[in-house]
Structure 1
Amino acid sequence: MATIRERNKELIIKAASQLFANRGFAATKTIDIAQLAGVPKPNVYYYFKNKENLYRSVLESIVEPLLQSSEPLHENSDPTVAMKDYIRAKIRISKEHPYASKVFASEIMHGAPRLPEDIKAQLLEQAQRSTAQIQSWIDQELMAPVDPHHLLFTIWAATQTYADFDWQIATVTGKSKLNDADYEIAAELIERLVIKGCEIKASL
């Protein structure tokens, strides 16, 4: 069971994610975060000291699932299973962490000025491990000789768009919010495009 401290921190991070996503770092006020979280303003400073630390916590809240999402690529010997699980993990992030995903995307689009160096290093290491795994499947002739980096970029773009450009998607589909079925359809389509397009084969 979560403690009061853990529950309050989670409420604050969730509120901060929404406001940072909608307004940006500079325009977001601590008092507004506190009001949206339903906690006294001093609590924000008690748990996070300042807005910069809170912003880092928001980034960390999305970086952790981003790092975990690549584990299927290394835990499954079958590249078809691994790729499907990876794509679904990425879609799940967009579904479960939409605001934090937008904050992360905005940070990257602005040149990552506030992204801590240790987080940059972790993300780079993850990308290097993932491209190496894809290259190993190519070397084993388990998939077409595509560029591993650009395959990753394509998957990132296809999955993260459901969080980062949700307004556009909702407008085009005529929905106020996507439901579970929509995310399932998206995952299945991306899987098909990647697996068939890259000619990924099941390992023997």
Structure 2
Amino acid sequence: MQFEVDAHRADRPAGRIRQQNEKLILEAAEQEFARHGFKGTSMQQVADRAGLPKANIHYYFNNKLGLYYAVLANIIDLWDSTFNELSADDDPAVVLPRYIATKIEFSRKYPQASRVFAMEILSGGPHLSQYFQQDYRDWFRSRAAVFEQWIAAGKMKAVDPAHLIFLLWGATQHYADFAVQIEAALGQQTLAPEVFDTATETLTEIILTGCGIRR
């Protein structure tokens, strides 16, 4: 499932320079939106953080809303593309650990983008109303149907697919969205790599055991 943002972007130059500048701008925007929210962030703040003239930001993104959509689209595309890979023919003992590990890795590598998404949801999702339409519901039902087929095939226990999916999402994204709380609890200024490794193993063991799946 794709989150469309092209309508909010300006025409952009092609090639490696474009890719480098867009990456730089999006990383700066993630930082600013995660810190100040959509309303509290200005294009000038993004330009200052990126170390680029404000005109360059507008060259790649028409306006702040277009830039905001692009940041949201990046994390949604990452999450959805990984979940799209699950199929009824898969062995959940193989693909669920892989999915959990991938989502935890996303939380490690892209914590700011995850927090931007979380802030948007907590504010009622005003900029995601187009995303959360029938296509999204159809996509979610198709993902839940995979778990239902695994259950019917005896590959896992009969647990509610929707709430299992919510658990997978929430548990893995927790390590990005609530990193400050985890750091305080563990006495770390920044979460060490082994924290993510342990989280992956622990969540995998709990979820597979709860679903009656043998590794």
In the alignment, which residue of structure 2 is the partner of 1:89? 102
Gaps of 5+ in 2: 1-14
| Worse-matched range after superposition: 70-79 or 131-140 | 70-79
Query: Structure 2: how far apart are the matches of 1:90 and 1:162?
Result: 10
Describe the shift of the 1:75–1:181 C-alpha distance in structure 2 as closer, same or farther (beyond 3 A).
Answer: farther
**Which of residues 45, 48, 64 is equivalent to 1:32?**
45
Q: Is the 8 A contact 1:91 1:183 kept in 2?
A: yes
Identity level (%): 38
Q: 1:122 to 1:94 in 2, by over 3 A?
A: farther
Which region of structure 1 is more displaced relative to structure 2, 73-82 or 150-159? Answer: 73-82
The residue number in structure 2 matching 1:77 is 90
What is the Cα deviation at residue 201 of structure 1? 4.3
Whether the aligned pair in 2 keeps the contact of 1:67 and 1:123 (CA below 8 Å) is no
Q: Distance in 2 between matches of 1:75 and 1:179?
A: 35
**Cα separation, 1, equivalents of 2:51 and 2:136:** 33
Kept in 1, the 8 Å contact 2:88–2:149? The answer is no
In the TM superposition, what are the counterparts of 1:26-65 in structure 2 within 5 Å?
26-65=39-78
* Structure 1 equivalent of residue 156 of structure 2: 143
Aligned to 1:158: 171
Contact 1:91 1:162 in 2 (8 A): yes
1:190 maps onto 2:203 in alignment: yes
Tell me the alpha carbon deviations over residues 67-119 of structure 1, each in whole angstroms, 9 at most, x when there is no partner: 11214422862111011111112111111111110111111222211126247
Gaps of 5+ in 1: none
Is the helix fraction higher in 1 or 2?
A: 1
Inter-partner Cα distance in structure 1 for 2:135 and 2:76:
9
Residues 162/128 of structure 1: CA separation in 2 closer, same or farther (3 Å cut): same
TM-score of the superposed pair, with normalisation by structure 1: 0.92
Whether 1:113 and 2:126 are equivalent positions in the alignment is yes
Query: Kindly tell me: are residues 141 and 76 of structure 1, through their superposed partners in 2, closer, same or farther at Cα, counting changes over 3 Å?
Result: closer
User: Does the CA contact (< 8 Å) of 1:21 and 1:103 recur in 2?
Assistant: yes
Relative to structure 1, the CA distance from residue 27 to residue 21 in structure 2 (aligned partners, 3 Å threshold; closer, same or farther) is: same
Alpha carbons of 1:34 and 1:122: their partners in 2 closer, same or farther (altered >3 Å)? farther
Deviation readout 1:108-136 (Å, 9 max, x if unpaired): 22221112624755644442222111111
Give the whole-Å Cα distance in 2 for the aligned partners of 1:102 and 1:41.
Answer: 24
RMSD: 1.8
User: Deviation of residue 155 (structure 1)?
Assistant: 1.1
With normalisation by structure 2, the TM-score equals: 0.87
Contact residue 170 and residue 176 of structure 1 kept, 8 A:
yes
Residue of structure 2 in register with 1:104 after alignment: 117
Q: Is the counterpart of residue 13 in structure 1 residue 26 in structure 2?
A: yes
